Amino acid sequence: MKKLVLCGAALALGLSSGSRDAAATENGATNWPIGVNTILPALLPPPGNTQFYSYTVRYSANRFVDAGGKSIIPGLKLTQYAQAFRFVHTWDYQTEGGVRFSSGMIPSADYTKLRIGGMPDDATGFNQVYLTPLYLTYSPSPSLHLLTGFSGFVPLGNFDRNGLANTTSNYRSYVQEFGLTWFITPAWELSMSPTLSFNERNKATGYRSGNVLNTDFSVGYRPSSMPQLQLSLAGYHTYQFSDDRAEAGAVAGGNRLKKLGLGPQVFYAFDKASGIVFKALHEVDVENGPKGNSFWVQFSTPI
């Protein structure tokens, strides 16, 4: 049976299942929590302020599909619950051109429950810490906001290459983030958050997952009668653009992950700096990965 690393949560949710021998093939692996950045991704706290974010997610899947969309692991049942906390501080400095500078970190942990056929397993523990030394944000107009930043995932917790369930992917990733939030009109908003992830090798298995372009997005509407409420279509598109590699060399077919997820999102702003988000995302098209659903609760407030 193949070795998998599946991810679908607030910071990075890892799950491993596999045979008890030395061979390993990690599928569906992404440290970036696809679907997380669908609300105001280019907006960070103003200079001199710190913002707290909470991400809670449940991800479930009963199918793991190949490049043709065919289920390849009989009896798969996966459930993951994850919690991540994000802290972002914007430094009390701004260039004459209006560029602002911020730094952030996100620790995360989860509970993973997996069953393959008659073999159950579960694990609880830390995932990773996500470190961003420097974000750059710029607003060319009051309605258009842009962001970029270079970040890294550092794995936390214990990894058992022979275990069915693990909470950490056990490898580092380096991420180039971009963000755009555009208030097209007072009622309509478009947000996008493309990320490029470059993965290191898992030293315990010798497997290196390919590099990934992921784009989280949303199109939202605020009714004039209740501007603190936003109703959105949210989602993500994941495209792995390089092949996986195992200890013995290139993986047959490349094992490239592709995903498209869509669903409703509801955002309620308590004031200009805090609010809560609920969203439910359904994976409508998947290749070489788990195909399931996620439900998110996200909260943010100044500290």
Residues 62-79 pLDDT 10s: 999 999 999 999 999 999
Supply the pLDDT for residue 23: 24
Supply the pLDDT for residue 7: 32
* CA-wise closest residue to 3 among 202, 240, 269, 263: 202
Pick the more confident residue, 25 or 249. 249
Share of the chain above pLDDT 90, in %: 83
| Whether pLDDT at 182 is above 80 | yes
What is the overall mean pLDDT for the chain? 89
Which two three-digit tokens encode residue 48?
């001199």
Supply the pLDDT for residue 248: 86
Q: How far apart are CA 167 and CA 93, in angstroms?
A: 38
| CA dihedral over 61, 62, 64, 68, signed as positive or negative | negative
Q: What is the pLDDT of residues 88-139, one digit of tens each?
A: 999 999 999 999 999 999 999 999 999 998 899 999 999 999 999 999 999 9
Supply the pLDDT for residue 242: 95
Q: What is the pLDDT of residues 142-161, one digit of tens each?
A: 999 999 999 999 999 889 88
Lookup result for tokens 């960070």: 44
- Confidence class of residue 87 from pLDDT cuts 50, 70 and 90? very high
In this structure, the strands spanning 173-183 and 144-155 are antiparallel
Q: What is the pLDDT of residues 1-58, one digit of tens each?
A: 233 433 322 222 233 333 222 222 255 758 999 999 999 999 999 999 999 999 999 9
Q: How far apart are CA 122 and CA 141, in angstroms?
A: 49
How does 6-36 read in b/e, with b if 16+ C-beta sit within 10 Å?
A: bbbbbbbbbbbbbeeeeebbbbbbbbbbbbb
Full-model pTM: 0.88
Q: Where are the beta strands (DSSP E) in 117-208?
A: 119-141, 144-155, 173-183, 188-199
Supply the pLDDT for residue 83: 97
- Confidence class of residue 162 from pLDDT cuts 50, 70 and 90? confident
Stated length of the chain: 303
Supply the pLDDT for residue 250: 86
- Confidence class of residue 178 from pLDDT cuts 50, 70 and 90? very high
